[in-house]
Structure 1
Amino acid sequence: MKLPVPLKMATRGYQEAIAALNSLQSNYANIMAIRESGDRKNRMNIWEMQEWSRRIGYNVSEFDKLNVVHITGTKGKGSTAAFVTSILGQYKVPKIGLYTSPHLKSVTERIRINGNPISEDKFAKYFFEVWDRLENTESEVTRFPHMVPGSKPGYFKYLTLLSFHVFMQEGCDCCVYEVGVGGEFDSTNIIERPLACGITQLGIDHTFILGDTIEEIAWNKGGIFKKQTPAFTVKEQPLEGLRMLEKRAEERGTKLEEVSIYRDLRGKKLGISGDFQIINASLAVALSSQALASMYFLPSPVSNAEDAAIPPRFLQGLECTQWEGRCQILVKGSTTWFIDGAHTKESIEAASSWFTQQVSNSQKKKILLFNQQSRDANALLSNLYSKTNPRVQFDEVIFTTNVTWTSGSYSSDLVSMNTSKEQVDNLEVQKSLAEKWITLDGKRSKIHVTSSIEAAHELIKQLGEPVNVFVTGSLHLVGGLFVVFDNM
């Protein structure tokens, strides 16, 4: 699908910025060609980001002013970033930037200041400032022959570049950056001197880019470590992964510290639900305290010992953290929605356990609404089933695409070109999931396949009785559902 790039239009507002941004997506055919070639990300990715930064007016060393807390991992890095941001806010850090991915409803969610997405007007303003600077500058052809005049970074790289520009122009005092994929070659990894680096729980994901083993994945994640920058990880790591992280820290001239689950957090109510969030909250305490001490808001960091006393303002920050689409419960009429965009083995098992705890004693009809379009969807469904069966029996199971509307269109902020249009149109993944569910659960559930999220929502409405709905498998599914909710 060719999207218009509205450079010649008199009005360049938010929708024009989104159309231009969407034009930077890699299409499905290109992605598959790269996969088949066996090519993986390499150091050129970082050199390109440094060059793009120069082209828009920055030396990457200037980004050290942003006092970055850099976070990667397989499971929970977004939640950890949200916890850190909320804790920092309790200490009246004037302007706190937060860069995360993906977004749910609006691209502006990826770039936040003091917890709030930047406005659409500011997004458009800064977006086209970056766009125009790239249009009007060139790269040295012998070093970057592929960066021809007028070329732009891809979708995620562009947004990362934009985030640096926004936070620099807005004068942010501390910024929390969630890595996109991996770490070593991720476009966020041009930061030279972060205040702290953190790695959440590791698992197998993004194997095409990161490798097939936990050691390879840990090697990539450990690439965010920097010389003399304090590095932290959780104790709940696979041993092979932990050993690799320790090796990477030594290579980079720092020491990796393992963070225990703090005793003060046990039994405390956190702003993000789920028993497993205590692990992310503990890592957030370590990262936040290191950052606050580095900026002289605290005399020294909080100890990593299990029995360390957690300052009251840290506890308040953890309690008031908000992060949509992760273990979130919404009640709309007679329907209770249990929503988590889990899309890895570890995260979907955790989300499924959370849902089971919530509803196993409920007499309401139970519905599963599921999609995952690009990863091994059948394997994720098996992981879900292993954690819900036999305590939860789904009465109805709905497999949908991530298409927003029954008309076949997406919300403009949710346009995706990196999946096969033919597969989506023919409901290939959804039909395969339906067959997989029968092998797992027999024919005890009534199975539905829908071509859009709106159609799935309408199907649930038509049941006309109190129901519990578990929505999971993809943050894109969750975002699309929220858009449908907003238009009810």
Structure 2
Amino acid sequence: MTSETSMRLSTSTTRTYKDAINALNTLQSNFASIEAIKKLGPNVNKNQLSINEVYEYTRRLGYQPKDFNKLNLIHVTGTKGKGSTCAFTESILEQYRLKNGGGISKIGLFTSPHLKTVRERVRINGRPIDENKFAKYFFEVWDKLSTTESDVEKFPTLQPSDTVKPMYFKYLTILSFHVFMSEGVDTAIYEVGVGGTYDSTNIIDQPTVCGITSLGIDHTFMLGTTIESIAHNKTGIFKKGSPAYVSEQLEYPESLKVIEERAKELGVSKLEVVSASEIPKDIKLGLAGDFQKLNAVLAVQLAREHLTKLNVLPPIEAGESFTLTPEFIKGLEVAKWEGRCQIIKDKPTFENITWYIDGAHTLESVNVASSWFRKELTNKAPTSTKRVLLFNQQSRENATALLAKLYENVVTDSFAFDHVIFTTNVTWSSGKYNSDLVSLNTSKEQVDKLIIQKELAEAWNELDSSATKKSRKHIFADIETGVNFIKSLSEDKVEVFVCGSLHLVGGLLVVLDNDTE
């Protein structure tokens, strides 16, 4: 970011939401920050440097980590299901907020990524903060960081202080703390971005409780290539004196040994492993998919521990089990989380089309999402129904592996897609993204030349080579064109599976809502 750009953004008299988004988007490929880090050379621990910068930026805003303890923070990490676990937890606690004497007045939720609007990442009482508040708090942080300084010797990467700003996710994390403190939030749920130890959210001093969802092999360039190294990093959110709950690790049970060792090393007050069998069978969860039972159980324990800390619920004595209260049951049943095993049917202007949507983007999550889709269509697929796959994964090296896992789970001799569509994550046929969905951390050349989409089409060709019924393949430069093609098929009933990327899902939801700017 140039000094001229920084000055223009800092002195803007308009200060609208759009101004804030335009400023935020400059941080996706923050040239000044990247160049400052490069100058340090290869021997610097860049992960440690990154988390130290979060401490420094919050100091420049006037906060110390212990100040955030008044938010009564719940901290959640994992490979898959952490967003859903946070949604279940929020929904349960919301029932106590609405109840007189519930001990909670404002619930903050920080998650990532967003689907349609960046404000989804910073929620209060179940709703994204409004555009005016986002702009107000965004520029309070922007201006404060533009007019304060860091020690040059301790923080050479933050120089010059009036120009260098935190990278995109780091800025939003810092912003969320400022929003929640300013708005008087007294319960906050934080979803880790990547890993744990060095994640931007991990400046939390004393969480009321920590949680770890199912672990898998992901973000190996940051977390290592083994489940042990990944588990070691994820457990970095554990804090001395705070309890921790962990989902049973069905795919990688060996990770539990690392988790137990780290719990002792980091001094957690209690460590418990939870099982999906703990959810009563007669409860209908608000989030679809059998795998959500495990996330729901973890959320129950996180919410129960949190409410106990706030003296809303009495402590559970050793050996006693917790009976779900009506508030817990309702919270589980009404929980919502867009883009995860979501079904949209007969939307206006899209009659006859049912959309099965999941932003799965890891091997483990694609495995469960495709199994969910296949189960949903079992015994309800008339011969006149057209089946369509809409897929993209723009930024992962294993995109073709994700596609292969999906094919393995869904396609059989008796079940095939009529059409398979590969698009970029560009929102509109004009070649533009919605400003909240701009993605500058992917190769523009790859997007423009449809390089990944062509690779995916070739991979599908190979997967489909011996199929009894082969799919027709289509490559489109944007989501809107793909959606219009699907709409052209809707003289018959159409069932569309959308998978592979939360960015794809977010763009799709914007197009379905015709949410043009």
Per the shorter chain, which TM-score range? over 0.9
Aligned equivalent of 2:504? 477
Distance 1:454 1:112 in 2: 28
| 1:374 equivalent in alignment to 2:395 | yes
Unaligned 5+ segments in structure 1 are none
Say whether 1:110 aligns with 2:121.
yes
Q: How does 1:409-424 map to 2 (within 5 A)?
A: 409-424=432-447
Of 300, 324, 333, 2:315 maps to 300
| TM-score of the pair, normalised by structure 2 | 0.90
Aligned ranges 1:280-429 → 2 under 5 Å: 280-301=295-316, 308-331=322-345, 332=347, 333-361=351-379, 362-363=381-382, 364-375=385-396, 376-390=398-412, 392-429=415-452
Match of 1:138 in 2: 149
Q: Is 4-13 or 335-344 further displaced after alignment?
A: 4-13
Please tell me whether residue 459 in structure 1 is matched to residue 482 in structure 2: no
CA distance in 2, matches of 1:304, 1:213: 35
2:420 aligned counterpart, secondary structure = strand
What CA distance in whole angstroms lies between the structure 1 residues aligned with 2:504 and 2:44? 29
Note the 1:244-263 alignment, pairs <5 A.
244-254=258-268, 255-263=270-278
Letter in 1 for 2:226: T
Aligned to 1:270: 285
Is 1:88 the counterpart of 2:93 in the alignment?
yes
Structure 2, unaligned stretches of length 5 or more? 98-103
- Whole-Å Cα distance in 1 between the matches of residues 319 and 475 of structure 2? 48
Measure how far apart 1:310 and its partner are: 1.8
What letter corresponds to residue 88 of structure 1 in structure 2?
L
- For residues 450 and 373 of structure 1, the distance between their equivalents in structure 2, rounded to whole angstroms, comes to 13
* Cα distance in 1, alignment partners of residues 226 and 405 from structure 2: 19
Alpha-carbon RMSD: 2.2
- Tell me what 2:23 maps to: 20
Can you list the C-alpha shifts for 1:342-395, whole angstroms capped at 9, x where unaligned? 001111110000000111331221100000011111010011111112263111
TM-superposed deviation, 1:76: 0.3
1:480–1:145 distance in 2 versus 1, CA, 3 Å: same
Q: Specify the code of the residue in structure 1 equivalent to 2:63.
A: Y
Cα contact 2:232–2:262 (8 A) shared by 1: yes
Letter in 2 for 1:107: V
* 1:93-148, Cα deviation, whole Å (9 max, x unpaired): 21000000000010000000011000000000000000010011001111111212
2:389 partner letter:
L
Matches for 1:111-130 after TM superposition, within 5 Å: 111-130=122-141
Q: Please point out which of 229, 233, 236 is paired with 2:249.
A: 236
Check if 1:157 corresponds to 2:175: no
1:176-195 matches, cutoff 5 A: 176-195=189-208
Query: Shift of the alpha carbon at 1:240?
Result: 2.1
SS across alignment from 2:202: helix
Q: TM-score, normalised by structure 1?
A: 0.95
Q: Assess if the C-alpha contact under 8 Å between 1:290 and 1:301 holds in 2.
A: no
Which residue does the alignment assign to 1:46? 51
Q: How has the CA–CA distance of structure 1 residues 368 and 146 changed in structure 2, closer, same or farther, with 3 Å as cutoff?
A: same
Aligned residues: 485
| Deviation of 1:304 (Å) | 9.2
For residues 3-42 of structure 1, give each alpha carbon's deviation from its aligned partner in whole angstroms, at most 9, with x where no partner exists.
96533322011000001000011279969x98x9798752
| Paired AA for residue 367 in structure 1 | V
Q: What secondary structure does 1:470 align onto?
A: strand
Contact 1:40 1:208 in 2 (8 A): no
Q: Is residue 95–residue 327 contact of structure 2 (8 Å, CA) maintained in 1?
A: yes
Could you say what secondary structure the match of 1:143 adopts?
coil
- Deviations for 1:191-212, whole angstroms, at most 9, x for unmatched residues? 0100000000000111111111
Quote how far apart the aligned CAs of 1:302 are.
9.1
Deviation per CA, 1:447-469, whole angstroms, max 9, x where unpaired?
Answer: 00000000100110111321000
Question: Identical aligned pairs, as a percentage?
Answer: 56
> Structure 1 residues 27, 438: closer, same or farther in 2, change over 3 A?
farther
CA distance in 2, matches of 1:213, 1:170: 41
